[in-house]
A and B are shown apart, each in its own frame.
Chain A
């Protein structure tokens, strides 16, 4: 039985349909991601899950029992990490954790022990008694995650949890989350637009225009892109794409004014033909790579996941 099940969850703001019937199941201990660019409905899906927005249609089930979104039972078993700040900056890290624990009626000795443990886990022990306003962005995010875990939730719901983290902090955060999942069977739901974060999920729901257009593992998604991806940088990508079509019958996708990509079963064989077909200078550089989740996303939706990852 899935731990959490959504059936036809929809939401509209006035005439605008933001979620168009989301249906999905998440098993215990699973890491489940909503992947999509800004405006795909990820944040609304997050808000519905943690009870901040009442959906205009659809239903949720928790452990096989129907549950109203935002129901106390659901809130008690859920930890939530927001994209924006949800800490009190004037208070210390420890005070934030202890107040968070008190909201879930965790007894004082247990709360203290739990706060110590989470400060240790997030490497904030040295700064535990400093006001959070002196913390860097990365430290605040770590504390947000610690705060969301203070009451040992079964489900952790996170909205773009690693936004603004550098590479090292990103890796560490995910190593810890995956460890925690192994140890406690924690179920994690998150929204993301970062392909490298989506890679950490067991399954991904690809969102476009408020709909789930695919729901499968990162590997399965990548397999939708056949073979290799050839990336070509050129001064005029549009003109080159037309020429590739005319001369070699290839369908290239322009990703940026100076970049296009081609999907091909046997990319290495195609590269010499492309190079020979064009006068020197037409192509600035040319590369071959394995398909990424970003490529799979483009293939599925016809859109880039994020402009900066083109």
Chain B
């Protein structure tokens, strides 16, 4: 019993700490949101004249692209919130947590939850722009949106934690995140839909957890069902949940096995 309470205390401490840190550095929110907003505006208006969605010709690119940019906000926030683990565990606060009574699994969960909360806050701020993309805030499927965002951000932060713990090297961490996750984001249906004309891309898109993040968020923005072909919301949520649990489990195993 006391072990469980100690673990909960550890999770809470790490969560509170990440929130406090985030609130202390308002510039972080500008940095984390600036890039996706610019991306959305520049790419969105640049592609607007050439993009035609088969079967949904009335759909503008700014609108199509918007759910993908939400995923990008969460992705970038997760990457930036977990890179600090590398330094934190050998010369930072995580050392304190490692010698305290809580378990390593609690450490992983606490840090991932903290980082995910920060990512969610940034996504929430970006959602304020939804009306400009053509979505009515009152017509959104909020529970679906919340679940999809929570599972995506927790999965991505746990993934970042695992990578950071395993690599021990900031350059390598960024290199892997940028060469693995950014292309996966591009191939998630964020920028263009899956097409049967490119079977390899289509296969990658099916195996890509971010595809389901984009799909679930897209459905939520349309109040439950998007007007274009995308994996169904329920299936997407289940896959995201699986991804999230898998990343948390892998991060915990790494954290138990390897100290520095």
Q: Which A residues have a C-beta under 8 Å from some C-beta of B?
A: 47, 50-53, 72, 75-76, 78, 80, 82, 84-88, 90-91, 95-96, 99-100, 102-105, 131, 147
Contact A52 to B9, CB < 8 A, known contacts A85-B91, A99-B17:
no
Q: What interface size band does chain B fall in?
A: 20 to 34
Contact A80 to B17, CB < 8 A, known contacts A86-B93, A88-B93, A103-B9:
no
- What chain B residues lie within 8 Å of A104 (beta carbons)? 9, 100-101
Q: Is the beta-carbon distance between B21 and A91 smaller than 8 angstroms?
A: yes
> When each residue 1-35 of chain B gets 1 if its CB lies under 8 Å from chain A and 0 otherwise, what string results?
00101100110110011001100110000000000
Q: Name the one of B12, B20, B95, B100 contacting A95, with C-beta atoms under 8 angstroms.
A: B20
- What chain A residues lie within 8 Å of B259 (beta carbons)? 47, 52-53
- What chain A residues lie within 8 Å of B10 (beta carbons)? 103
* Separation of A78 and B96 alpha carbons in the complex (Å): 12
Q: Is the beta-carbon distance between A103 and B13 smaller than 8 angstroms?
A: yes
Contact A90 to B21, CB < 8 A, known contacts A102-B12, A103-B10:
yes
Assess whether B97 is interfacial by the CB under 8 Å rule: yes
- What chain B residues lie within 8 Å of A72 (beta carbons)? 3, 6, 101
Nearest-neighbour CB distance to chain B for A43, whole angstroms, equals: 11
Q: Which B residues have a C-beta under 8 Å from some C-beta of A?
A: 3, 5-6, 9-10, 12-13, 16-17, 20-21, 24-25, 90-93, 95-102, 259-260
Q: Is the beta-carbon distance between A86 and B92 smaller than 8 angstroms?
A: yes
- What chain A residues lie within 8 Å of B9 (beta carbons)? 102-105
* Separation of A17 and B95 alpha carbons in the complex (Å): 25
* Separation of A76 and B3 alpha carbons in the complex (Å): 11
Contact A75 to B100, CB < 8 A, known contacts A90-B24, A105-B5:
yes
- What chain B residues lie within 8 Å of A90 (beta carbons)? 20-21, 24-25
Nearest-neighbour CB distance to chain A for B196, whole angstroms, equals: 50
Shortest 6 CB-CB distances between A and B: which pairs? A103-B100, A86-B95, A84-B91, A80-B99, A88-B93, A76-B101
Nearest-neighbour CB distance to chain A for B17, whole angstroms, equals: 6
A and B contact pairs by CB, cutoff 8 A, 5 listed: A52-B99, A53-B259, A90-B24, A91-B21, A105-B6
Nearest-neighbour CB distance to chain B for A161, whole angstroms, equals: 14
Beyond the given A80-B99, A88-B17, please list 15 additional residue pairs across the A-B interface where CB-CB is below 8 A: A72-B6, A80-B96, A85-B92, A86-B95, A87-B92, A87-B96, A90-B25, A91-B21, A99-B16, A99-B17, A102-B9, A102-B12, A103-B13, A103-B96, A104-B100
Output the nearest chain A residue to B259 by Cβ-Cβ distance. Answer: A52
* Separation of A307 and B96 alpha carbons in the complex (Å): 31
Q: Is the beta-carbon distance between B101 and A75 smaller than 8 angstroms?
A: yes
Q: Is the beta-carbon distance between B21 and A86 smaller than 8 angstroms?
A: no
* Separation of A79 and B215 alpha carbons in the complex (Å): 48
Nearest-neighbour CB distance to chain B for A80, whole angstroms, equals: 4
Nearest-neighbour CB distance to chain B for A33, whole angstroms, equals: 19
- What chain B residues lie within 8 Å of A100 (beta carbons)? 96, 100
* Separation of A102 and B110 alpha carbons in the complex (Å): 13
Output the nearest chain A residue to B91 by Cβ-Cβ distance. Answer: A84
Q: Is the beta-carbon distance between B95 and A84 smaller than 8 angstroms?
A: yes
Nearest-neighbour CB distance to chain A for B234, whole angstroms, equals: 38
Nearest-neighbour CB distance to chain B for A228, whole angstroms, equals: 43
Residue in B9, B12, B21, B99 whose Cβ sees the most chain A Cβ within 10 Å: B99
Q: Name the one of A75, A82, A91 contacting B20, with C-beta atoms under 8 angstroms.
A: A91
